[in-house]
Amino acid sequence: MGLRVENLSVARGGVPLLTGVGFDLAPGKALILRGPNGSGKTTLLRTIAGLQPLLEGRVHCSEDAIAYAAHSDGLKASLTVAENLQFWAEVFGTSDIDVALTRFDLLTLADRPAHALSAGQKRRLGLARLMVTGRPIWVLDEPTVSLDQASVARFAENVKTHLAGGGMALLATHIDLGLEAPVLDVGVFKADPTSSIGGFDEEFL
């Protein structure tokens, strides 16, 4: 099963940002979100990933299908690279961390604590986490921040491999990853910021 987003409206900080967002993402496919800073890409991704409530519309996908990589890497600072991945493998009920270590060029850093990694190395570890989730839909918010050119290329290859295996990727990115993927400009869905957000629960934000 893929991902279907239907007539979705999202808000942040009590302000409606996007309305009527709709798209389908089939197995093996990627979709790239574009739009200026502050247009609502992160908010849309967070809503699709279930991290904040939607205003209206529907997100259809299998239960527990989405793995979300946010701006922050969500690492456990005192655990090593391998222990971080092992932790996530246990959380997600998977076991193999070696493929993720290899594909994100982390083998030589496996025993280093996360707090002692560079920004780009932390980002690689944060992205490697996606692989150990075993989840088919990768929702990625500016995944290449801090990555050097070689790491960007490696990441793009990893996304392609994920797609080739029937996975999906929804990405907000300002750079060209060389993916054969349609681009969705979120500006098309800009909401009236003065419109009502009804009973929207701000406590989630």
Ligand X SMILES: Nc1ncnc2c1ncn2[C@@H]1O[C@H](COP(=O)(O)OP(=O)(O)OP(=O)(O)O)[C@@H](O)[C@H]1O
| Site membership for ligand X, residue 173 (CB under 6 A) | no
Least gap, CB of 69 to ligand X (angstroms): 14
Of residues 40-99, those binding ligand X (CB under 6 A): 40-43
Q: What are residue 16's phi and psi, to 5 degrees?
A: -60, 135
**114, 124 Cβ separation under 8 angstroms:** no
**Binding of ligand X by 19 (CB under 6 A):** no
Q: Considering the complex, what minimum distance in angstroms separates the CB of residue 18 from ligand X?
A: 9
- Position among 2, 4, 6, 12 found at the interface with ligand X (CB under 6 A): 12
Q: Compute the Cα dihedral for 47, 50, 55, 60 and give only its sign.
A: positive
Beta strands in 26-154 (DSSP E): 30-34, 56-60, 66-69, 137-141
Strand partners, 68: 139
Is 2 or 20 the residue whose CB approaches ligand X more closely?
20
Residue of the chain from 9, 19, 39, 121 that contacts ligand X (CB under 6 A): 39
Please, are residues 137 and 4 in contact by the beta-carbon 8 Å criterion? Answer: no
Cβ 168 to ligand X shortest distance, Å: 20
**Options 3, 30, 35, 191; binder of ligand X; rule CB under 6 A:** 35
Q: Tell me the window of 11-19, 47-55, 85-93, 105-113 that interacts with ligand X (CB under 6 A).
A: 11-19
Q: Which of 17, 55, 69, 75 binds ligand X (CB under 6 A)?
A: 17
CB of 204 to ligand X, least distance (A): 11
Q: Is residue 133 a contact point for ligand X (CB under 6 A)? A: no
Instruction: Give the list of residues 6+ apart from residue 45 with CB closer than 8 angstroms, or none.
Output: 33, 68, 139, 140, 141, 170, 172
Stretch that binds ligand X, among 33-41, 62-70, 90-98, 100-108 (CB under 6 A): 33-41
* DSSP per position, 118-134: -HHHHHHHHHHHHHHHT
Task: Say how far apart CA 46 and CA 30 lie, in whole Å.
Answer: 17
